[in-house]
Each structure stands twice: as C-alpha cells, then as structure tokens.
Amino acid sequence: MEHRPTDLTDADVRAALSAHHGVRAGELHYRPVGFGDYHWETTGADGRRWFVKVSDLADKPQCGPTPATALAGYRAAVGTASALRAAGLSFVVAAEPALDGEPVSDLDGRWALTLFAHVDGVHHDFFTELGRSDRDDVLGLLARLHAASPPAGVPVHVPEVPDRAVIDGALAQQEVSWSGGPYSEPARQAVVTHAGAIRARLAEADALAHRLAHSGRATVVTHGEPHPGNLLGTPEGFLLIDWDTVGLGVPERDLAVVGGDLSAYTALTGTEPDPYALELYRLRWRLADLGEFLRWFRAPHADDADGRTAWEGLLQTVADLAAGSQPPT
C-alpha cells in the first residue's frame, strides 16, 4: 500500500517484533509495495535484515470473511508455504516462525504480523511482461509445485467468484446513491454503465465453474497468483512470494495467470491445460478484482494514492468485462 495504516505506528510494529520474534529492530523503513497489506524493512540488533508484513484481518477476504476466520486461513496458507519449503521447494519464500511457533502473529485481533528474512533480488511489478525464457522458468516452478505432495492443512481453493455477494449487492443497488467516499458515486455510475456486461460475465463464470465441477480434473497445490509482482529474480532463479492464496485447485488456476504459450508446462508434466478451465480463471480474476474494488468504494475511503490506484483498476476492470470473453479453442 502507498499509505501507512492510520492506526498502527512504527512503535507498534517495533514492539510486536520484539514481543513475538525477539527481534530488536533498528530503524524501520516503510515500503509502499503491494496492494492490501503493509510492509516495512528493518535490521535487527544482530545485523540481520528483515522484511515485515502486517495484514488487516478485517480486510483479508481471500483468507476468511471475519478477522478470526481470516487469521486461521492466513496461518494455514503461510504454514503451507513453510511446509513446501521444508519439503525441498527452494523457490518458496517462507515466513520465519514466531517465538510461539506460529507462522503468523495475532497482534490485537485485527492486525497480524508475518516476518521474512530479507532476500536480495529483483522485484517485478504486476504489469511486467515476461519474455519467453522467463515465462518458461516460471512454468517450470509451477510444474514442481503442482507435483508436490499436499502438506497437511493446506487450504482448499473454491473456484466460484469471490465477493459474489458484493457484486450482486452493487447491481441490486445501482439506482441508489452510494456513500463512503469520493469514488463511491463514480463507482456506482460505472456499474450502471456496465451492468449488462457484468451480469453476462457472471453468468459465463457460473457456467464455466459448473463445467469444471463435473470435469473430473485432478487438483494440485496451486499458488493462486504467480504473476510477475510475486516474483523475485535472483542469480539462482525466480522465487515466489506472497502465498496467502495457496490452495488445492486445478493447475489452470495458476496457468491462466501466467498466460501465453504453456507448452513448456505440458512438456514437463504431460498435462494439457483445459481451455475451459483457463477461461474460467481468466474471467474469475477480473470478477475478483471487480468485487475487491466495489468493496473498497462502498466503504469509507479517501482520495489518496491508494484510492486513485483502485479507481484506475476499477475502470480497467469494467472495460475488460465489457469487452467480453472469447470462446475457448
């Protein structure tokens, strides 16, 4: 996030690092990266460098709808990443366990802290276009991940559209003024303008999810968001970060995010991606973004850098949905 949380100070983060990890942090440097969580870098008294991630459990729906369920889901996801790393998947960036052994520390019922050893690497962003060689390298990592034995307690991915109730509620209330902040009414107007397209894409996603449910496709451990923004380039190859969305699902859940020529994956695994499953996850990604942006703009928000980023994202998302989807080939 571009902006720091308004009710969590550097002193709070420093105290949490000491209490939960025994890290005596020096100067904290806020890092405006990612979208949804908050990040700092620091160096401990022993000279070790750390990357700190703090999550708002009241706004982590990919892990659970309430702070309590989000904490449990988040711990299961981070614990799964740690188990995968321990099983030999060296490209998995796993968290440091806290003093009590938990992979995620509950600070106060709302905020949760996760600690990572600093990694020297080249960070990409979501919009980075990977060349053929780099994309094939990522597919190679996914082939190894998908072949891994599922750790105990791995979350189970649900392919239906997330935040469906939020989208349906926005459609049902499109004729009523929205409040919350400066982008509420513009967001409502965007829904009014594209309501037909949104409903059509939801119907397509429902049909594709029904088809997948009856396809018999085997499930594997999937990352969920293996896009360039979750890659770190190192001399030894790419590392995958942000395992919040890890879960058992079909391979196409990951492959749809990579996109392009997927033949390297087939050559490594013998698995031919299903075009309908790929289309489901490409469409589901756009609808998931829609739900996230609508939640943002129907709640209290400000006209700041994060709000503007979300607004631009909403405009691009509804434009993509209006452009429709092409039938699988």
**Rounded to an integer, what is the distance from CA 4 to the centroid of its chain?**
19
CA–CA distance, 249 with 215 (Å, rounded to integer):
13
**Cross-strand bridge partners of residue 51:** 41, 116
Q: Which two tokens stand for residue 89?
A: 């998947």
Strands (E), 101-169: 105-106, 111-117, 122-123
How buried is 156 (Cβ within 10 angstroms: 0-12 exposed, 13-18 middle, 19+ buried)? exposed
pLDDT tens track of the chain, all 329 residues?
677 888 899 999 999 999 999 999 999 999 988 777 999 999 999 999 999 999 999 989 889 999 999 999 999 999 999 999 999 999 999 999 999 999 999 999 999 999 999 999 898 888 888 999 999 999 999 999 999 999 999 999 999 999 999 999 999 999 999 999 999 999 999 999 999 999 999 999 999 999 999 999 999 999 999 999 999 999 999 999 999 999 999 999 999 999 999 999 999 999 999 999 999 999 999 999 999 999 999 999 999 988 999 999 999 999 999 998 554 54
Contact by Cβ (8 Å): 299, 316: no
CA–CA distance, 218 with 265 (Å, rounded to integer):
16
Contact by Cβ (8 Å): 299, 179: no
Q: What's the pLDDT tens digit per position in 152-197?
A: 999 999 999 999 999 999 999 999 999 999 999 999 999 999 999 9
The whole-number pLDDT of residue 306 equals 87
Of 50, 3, 4, 6, the C-alpha closest to 24 is 50
CA–CA distance, 199 with 196 (Å, rounded to integer):
5
CA–CA distance, 205 with 277 (Å, rounded to integer):
10
- The set of residues, in sequence order, having a beta carbon less than 8 Å from that of 95 and lying 6+ positions away, is 78, 81, 82, 103, 104, 114, 115, 116
Angle at 109 between CA 308 and CA 35, to 5 degrees: 20
The whole-number pLDDT of residue 128 equals 87
- Listing DSSP states for 185-230 in one string gives HHHHHHHHHHHHHHHHHHHHHHHHHHHHHTT-PPPEEE-S--SGGG
| CA dist 243 → 13, 63, 92 (Å) | 22, 11, 9
Q: Where are the domains of the chain?
A: 10-118, 132-323
- The CATH architecture assigned to 10-118 reads 2-Layer Sandwich (3.30)
Of 96, 75, 74, the C-alpha closest to 85 is 96
- The CATH architecture assigned to 132-323 reads Alpha-Beta Complex (3.90)
Give the three-state DSSP class for 300. Answer: coil
CA–CA distance, 53 with 51 (Å, rounded to integer):
7
The whole-number pLDDT of residue 291 equals 96
Q: How many residues does the chain have?
A: 329
Helix (H) or strand (E) segment spanning residue 89 = none
The whole-number pLDDT of residue 7 equals 86
Query: What pTM value is reported for the model?
Result: 0.92
**Cross-strand bridge partners of residue 255:** none
First to last CA, the chain: 38
